[in-house]
Structure 1
Amino acid sequence: MKIRRRTNECPNCGALLDSVYNYCPRCGQENTDNYVSFNMLVSDFFNTFFALDSKFAHTVIPFLFKPGNLTISYVNGKRMSFAHPLRFYLVVSLFFFFIFTLVGKKSIEEDGDEGIIQVNHTVDDVIGLEAEDLATLEATLGAKKLQEIEKQLNGPKLKDLRKALKKNITSTEKEALQIALDSTTAQKLLRFDVMNNEKEVNSTIISPVRVETDSSYKKSSHNATEDIDKITSNENKDFFNVFNEIDWKLIDELRDKRQITDHQVYDSLHMGNITELQEHIIRQIIRVNRADQQQFVEYILKNLPLMMLILIPFFALILKLLYARRDQLYIKHLIHALHLHTFAYFFYGISLLVMVYAISDEDNAAIFGMLSFIVVSTYAYLSFLKVYKQHWFKTLIKFNVTGMIYLSCIFIFFITEIVVSFLLY
């Protein structure tokens, strides 16, 4: 039996105490001047933060096996008998998001650390190439040859396809294409020899009067010309069209070359005259692509608990609107929403553990995941019936409408959260 050394004054609030008092009648602290033991420290923490006391024990059974009963009991005034809905939600959500993050890390480790940019262009991506031209290319060169050309395709432009053709087709295949394609398309795709001849002619005409310069000057002049062309071409472009000009393959190739900084990778793209927002987005693309994938995913996941907590009042508002004619207080819908989310987090957390660590077959894991969804949905539907006491068919309609609207809200919030995380990473 624990021996108390009682005091005449509360160590916490200073209230005068009689020696027979085991606890202070003002603040409730135990009347003892004993040093705090480890067991007392742990017990106080769990009782204060997690409320693991008799309330928790009374809450578990109706929470798990009697959908809706916990909400009705709490709304009807039995608040001292059950755990506080918000505290209960926070404890279970802590468990769920811990499991969710753990599973996310495991999936990333299994998939490997690959960049967000996976470049794999096909001739179907080439802008300005008609379907008839694509069919002609495949019929003339063959599917196998076309696959070899696609491996050399660095972008979705005609000039990218022209360069790939130049590297892979023979003179015979070129002549066949000139015959098969219409003159305009042939001029666009097969003019690399003409361009080379024009360069030779221009070089011959200009060479007698050209002042000899070193190679570095030639290179800088060439780069300056490219930059001027880029600036001119970007001036009148729409916001998203600029991203078609990005050399995605170059970004992917430079991803693991750590001696090259993010700033140098951006400079190598020669994006020209673009807005500050466009520049920031491109720089973030480079940064995220070169970052550790696990760190970026963790950066996104750490904000999910807050996002879901913000969504719960939206869920309660949906319920308030659907049951507006029943004249029920918003707080009732909010408590119901907290209990539903708490059960979903608890059950899905257990399901994730089983799916990832106990089931090795992916098909069986998918089936188990679907069964988990059915269980949670059934629980929620039964809770709707119990709390709102309407006909089963009307409840089913409102339940499905609530689900569709809420899933749309989750999708919008999640996309917004990813975009914001991407821009701020």
Structure 2
Amino acid sequence: MSESTREIKNYRGLKCLNCNHPLDISDKFCPNCGQKNSTKKLSLKDFVDEFLSNFYAYDSKVKNTIVKLFTKPGVAAKEFINGKRQTYANPFRFYLSVSLIYFIFSGMESKFNDETILDLDQSIIKKSEEKKQENESTKTNDNQLNLNDPKSPVQINLGNNEIKKDTVKEQKLYTEKQIANFGFFKKTSRKIQTYANFFDHSKTINPSKILDTLKHEKSKWNFYLLKKTYQFKKLDEEDNSGKKGFNKFFDYFTDKLPFILFISLPFLTIVFALLYFRKKMNYAEHMVLVFSFMSFIFLLIFINEVIFLLFNISLDWLVNLIVIFYFYKSLRNFYQQSRWKTILKFVILSILLPITASFVALFILFIGFLLY
């Protein structure tokens, strides 16, 4: 009995193990879900073979996608929406993979800077001094602030928390009772103004003590507004390590950059959909081009940084020229309009996209500060 006959006899079933669809003994695959018709137990060889076949299939898609991205701008996106789904990698998944690899590489690259042994030695000394100051601070219970804990004891009081009457007259401090009848936004605005004025004229920074002084309710919302007002006032000040509050917030914001870029792309896609509304393409089809273009940008920047890291040669000027030309060719190949129409829309997009991206960035920056 041949091996194929034994496989038919011993391993093929009359029902799909994945979806329970009825099968014939001659069916190699389930016509309903595509799973192989086999009742054979999983072996190590089967597991490795399946992994390698899936990896090779994805790897070939990635190879085809990268080659087409660099040789024919916009064509891979066009062919993908026209039905060639097995030839190219999914644009959304490919973008996430490329951006993830880039930001991992960028994070590792920052570790291999030009820091000398002397710089390293000074850095160790500085960190040692900072730790010593921190220990002394803990002993004396000074220079500590925990705005996240409303019930925390008084951490620091560098001066008299009493505010002169003429100061109150000049910059009014509203009590909860005085603004009780205001609308939500006006009331919130008055509270932020009150907290900002308070920090201008008092060194007390204990949350509970401040709210008691201002006769404000000790609610979670008031503690939150107080914390954000304090953080905003500290953006331009330096901490013990000499780092400004804005730089710390910028580092926090930079860490979220992959997420921010991912969030902004759907908004940029809207601009394409509005400008090319006559093409009768749906939103997802426009988004395929946007994700493909951004994937190319990340790959190009990645190559540029590798060249700079290995040969210390900056090709930023060339990257900028390539991006401009590539964007034009992508529009021409994807939307297949005349040269002059493409040039006109290229100019319009070059104006609208930065404006849209700026508004999105400001909005995300605002949300980021609220969550900081």
Please indicate the TM-score interval, normalised by the length of the shorter structure: 0.5 to 0.7
Matches within 5 A, 1:282-361: 282-285=229-232, 299-355=252-308, 357-360=309-312
Deviation at 1:408? 1.9
Is contact 2:16-2:23 (8 Å) kept? Answer: yes
Determine helix, strand or coil for the equivalent of 2:98.
helix
Deviation at 1:65? 0.4
**Distance of aligned partners of 1:278 and 1:15 in 2 relative to their CA distance in 1, 3 Å threshold:** closer
Cα distance between partner residues in 2 of 1:306 and 1:335: 18
Paired AA for residue 235 in structure 1: K
Paired AA for residue 319 in structure 2: S
Q: Is 1:234–2:242 an aligned residue pair?
A: no
Is contact 1:247-1:269 (8 Å) kept? Answer: no
Q: Which of the residues 341, 346, 357 maps onto 1:410? A: 357
Unaligned runs of 5+ in 2: 1-5, 127-156, 175-189, 217-221
Q: Which of the residues 62, 66, 77 maps onto 2:72? A: 66
Determine helix, strand or coil for the equivalent of 1:52.
helix
Q: Which of the residues 75, 78, 84 maps onto 1:78? A: 84
Cα distance between partner residues in 2 of 1:97 and 1:61: 22
Aligned to 2:160: 223
Deviation at 1:268? 11
Aligned to 1:384: 331
Is contact 2:173-2:214 (8 Å) kept? Answer: no
Determine helix, strand or coil for the equivalent of 1:358.
helix
Cα distance between partner residues in 2 of 1:58 and 1:302: 31
Unaligned runs of 5+ in 1: 115-219, 252-261
Q: Is 1:35–2:43 an aligned residue pair?
A: yes
Deviation at 1:381? 0.8
Deviation at 1:61? 2.4
Paired AA for residue 322 in structure 1: L
Deviation at 1:378? 1.2
**Distance of aligned partners of 1:397 and 1:26 in 2 relative to their CA distance in 1, 3 Å threshold:** closer
Q: Is 1:6–2:11 an aligned residue pair?
A: yes
Deviation at 1:234? 2.7
- Give deviations 1:44-89, integer Å, cap 9, x for gaps: 7757xxx615433433322220112222222333333332222222
Cα distance between partner residues in 1 of 2:326 and 2:255: 28
**Distance of aligned partners of 1:73 and 1:282 in 2 relative to their CA distance in 1, 3 Å threshold:** same
Length-normalised TM-score, structure 2: 0.60
Q: Which of the residues 363, 366, 371 maps onto 1:419? A: 366
Deviation at 1:305? 2.9
Deviation at 1:96? 2.7
- Give deviations 1:251-290, integer Å, cap 9, x for gaps: 9xxxxxxxxxx955x89999x8599576332333478865
Deviation at 1:348? 1.7
Is contact 1:234-1:273 (8 Å) kept? Answer: no
Percent identity of paired positions between Structure 1 and Structure 2: 24
Determine helix, strand or coil for the equivalent of 2:324.
helix
Structure 1 or 2: more helix by fraction: 1
Deviation at 1:236? 7.0
Is contact 1:6-1:33 (8 Å) kept? Answer: no
Q: Which of the residues 96, 102, 115 maps onto 2:102? A: 96
Deviation at 1:347? 1.4
Deviation at 1:411? 2.2
Determine helix, strand or coil for the equivalent of 2:93.
helix
Deviation at 1:382? 0.9
The total of aligned residue pairs comes to: 296
Matches within 5 A, 1:39-188: 39=48, 42-43=51-52, 46=55, 52-103=58-109
Deviation at 1:401? 2.0
Determine helix, strand or coil for the equivalent of 2:58.
coil
Task: Return the index of the structure with the highest Cα Rg.
Answer: 1
Cα distance between partner residues in 2 of 1:311 and 1:376: 19
Paired AA for residue 98 in structure 1: I
**Distance of aligned partners of 1:328 and 1:424 in 2 relative to their CA distance in 1, 3 Å threshold:** closer
Length-normalised TM-score, structure 1: 0.54
Higher relative contact order (CA 8 A, sep 6+): 1
Paired AA for residue 96 in structure 1: Y
Paired AA for residue 400 in structure 1: V
- Give deviations 1:392-424, integer Å, cap 9, x for gaps: 344223212212221122222223323322332
Cα distance between partner residues in 2 of 1:55 and 1:24: 24
Aligned to 1:185: none
Query: What RMSD over aligned residues (CA atoms) do the two structures have, in Å?
Result: 4.9
